[in-house]
Amino acid sequence: AQSVAQPEDQVNVAEGNPLTVKCTYSVSGNPYLFWYVQYPNRGLQFLLKYITGDNLVKGSYGFEAEFNKSQTSFHLKKPSALVSDSALYFCAVRDGDNFNKFYFGSGTKLNVKP
């Protein structure tokens, strides 16, 4: 079965500090992984994806994610957090058997304090 886990419901970080939002996955075959961000009362916005290639993927708004195959992880990172980064973040994985299905994690609320 395919699944995604986001072990932290909430992450708190001070503005200017680096941030990490964690994601682990379980999927058959090669993983296709995604990060999305959701601001209050809005739909999700695509941040970045990993399909193949470099383990460090760069995305929108200065975010990047590190793919680690041995640890089955795909953590979202940013070197210097902004207050405006405060939002709900979702990790998603494409089904390894049915390429048209996606599974989302439960979300991590990021709070960046001034």
Q: Which residues bind other proteins (CB under 8 A)?
A: 4, 6, 32, 34, 36, 41-49, 51, 90, 92, 94, 99-107
In the complex, least distance from residue 19 CB atom to other proteins, rounded to whole angstroms: 20
Q: Are 74 and 5 in contact (CB under 8 A)?
A: no
* Locus of tokens 């999305």: 36
- Count CB neighbours of 100 within 10 A: 6
Q: Which is nearer to other proteins, 15 or 96 (CB)?
A: 96
Q: Which is nearer to other proteins, 48 or 112 (CB)?
A: 48
Question: How would you classify the pairing of strands 64-68 and 19-21?
Answer: unpaired
In the complex, least distance from residue 70 CB atom to other proteins, rounded to whole angstroms: 24
